[in-house]
Amino acid sequence: MPFFPPNSSSSLNNEYNLIIARYVEIGLKSRKVRNRMEKRLMDHILSILNRESLSTLQSSRQWGRLIFQFEPKDIEKALLIFRNIIGIHSYSPVIRVSNSFDELCKSTVKFAQTYLKSNESFAVRVKRFKLYPKNSLEIEREIGGKIYDYFTQIGKPIKVNLKQPQKTIYLEIKEKEAYLFGDIYYSAWGGNPIETDKAMFALWNGNFGELSASFLLTRRGTVVIPLVIYNSETFLNKQKLLRYNSLNEKLHVLASFYSEPINVILLDYNPLIKIIKNFEKLEIMQDNDYKKKVFLEEIASLLLISHLVYQSSIQNHIKYGKKTLIIKGFISNYHQSYSLVNHTIDFIHIAQSFSFTHFIPLSGLSIEVIKKMEGKLMNPSYELITEEFSLSSLILKDIEVNNSVNFDSIVHFSSDNIDNISIALDYFVNSIKSKKFSEIIESIIENAEFMKISSKIS
């Protein structure tokens, strides 16, 4: 159930019929880029609201704000949905009032009557357009004085505290109207709006960290297409595959951040593994059956990804809404701690050898932060967030504090394995051009199963 913090004005929800959403990173762009990204964010929010069965009476973009008008009964649900929309930094339920000074005074005093309680400290904060007859400090002082006098007269004294008030009343005065509110809520994730010119495959095998890796690129505005690459000898049917390590549940979590259904591609690489494991040089590369099995799976996965990224017509069938996507690379849950995902090969070196862009968003993070992120994604809170949170700052702090990227160990790992890997790569990269390899890979792709997954936030 929705939860409003103790200091919120949830009792005023019947008066609110607007939500103002704010962004941060978009504001750093050039005017042309900012306008484009603003429009995409607006379209993204409206599509998600429609998916969540919430309709807006009106929406607009003004002075770096996105404004949405709802029926008052829908405000509470809308606030919870805005909490998880990527691209939003903060948002507030607001009341639209007249911008004449006398009306501002009356509206703000009336608002304070239910917003403030006896003995609480408060402050008034004002932003106004340049040509308004009074400056911001004058408005704050005069309206604050009227609020203070009102509570004194009714015998419920309140305190003025301009540095650390318990409650703050905000006024944004524009040319034709003004917006009055008391609460600022923050998005759980921030980030940039989804843009269809950014699309990447993501390797999903049911391993830890795949959801977090995909999500970190999603919050940067990327359309992620999970590639679920599996062996039909292990997973005899799709139902068993999707139950493995909560794979289906994690895919639905990822889908909840998109306004359109996401594409998921299931590929059975068993025919490819049968050929690769007959490679006579393979015996010298791994010292036990388990490592050999994982090695086979990783080489087969990379061969398929390479073909999908650069050589396959499959991209013509991958759409986000009505937009055909252009794939820019692939994402993996590669981590400097190989025990995290049980890799047997150096994915960085391998991806470079295949000459396609490989994104490794988990590299540099501590396992503790990845687990925390994965937990928050799988078990989201329904509390409104009243304190500013930056995932980017958390990540940078984690890298600095834990110093978890050990490049020396990565280089050492690569140098120990590079000769053996090169033996296999020379063979596989050259063989992929052969008719036999191409036919097998094309056959796997032709038999791929496509899924569309959509998931609600609420």
Output the pLDDT for position 356.
67
Angle 437-439-442 (CA atoms, 0-180°, nearest 5)? 105
Output the pLDDT for position 2.
41
Output the pLDDT for position 424.
53
One digit per residue, the tens of pLDDT, for the chain of length 458 reads 344 444 444 444 467 889 999 998 888 788 898 899 999 999 999 999 999 999 999 999 988 899 999 999 999 999 999 999 999 999 999 999 999 999 999 999 999 999 999 999 999 999 998 889 999 999 999 999 999 999 999 999 999 999 999 999 999 999 889 999 999 999 988 888 898 888 999 989 888 899 999 999 999 999 999 999 888 888 867 788 888 888 999 999 999 999 999 999 999 988 888 877 776 555 545 556 766 777 777 778 877 887 887 666 676 778 898 888 888 888 988 776 654 445 544 555 555 555 668 888 888 788 888 888 899 899 887 788 888 866 766 666 665 555 544 444 433 333 344 444 455 555 555 555 566 677 888 888 888 889 999 998 76
Output the pLDDT for position 144.
96
Output the pLDDT for position 432.
53
| Beta-carbon count within 10 A of 156 CB | 14
Output the pLDDT for position 250.
94
Task: Output the six-digit token pair for 363.
Answer: 């590299």
Output the pLDDT for position 159.
95
Which 3-state string (H, E, C) describes the chain?
Answer: CCECCCCCCHHHCCCCCEEEEECCHHHHCCHHHHHHHHHHHHHHHHHHHHHCCCCCCEEEEECCEEEEECCHHHHHHHHHHHCCCCCCCEEEEEEEECCCHHHHHHHHHHHHHHHCCCCCEEEEEEEECCCCCCCHHHHHHHHHHHHHHHHHHCCCCCEECCCCCCEEEEEEECCCCEEEECCCEECCCCCCCCCCCCEEEEEECCCCCHHHHHHHHHCCCCEEEEEEEECCCCCCCHHHHHHHHHHHHHHHHHHCCCCCCEEEEEEECHHHHHHHCCCHHHHHCCCCHHHHHHHHHHHHHHHHHHHHHHCCHHHHHCEECCEECCEEEEECCCCCCHHHCCCCCCHHHHHHHHCCCEECCCCCCCHHHHHHHHHHHHCCCCECECCCCCHHHHHHHHHHHHCCCCHHHHHHHHHHHHHHHHHHHHHHHHHCCCHHHHHHHHHHHHCCEEEEECCCCC
Output the pLDDT for position 406.
46
Output the pLDDT for position 359.
86
Domains of the chain: 10-186 (3.30.2130.30), 199-363+405-453 (3.40.50.620)
Output the pLDDT for position 260.
93
| Beta-carbon count within 10 A of 269 CB | 22
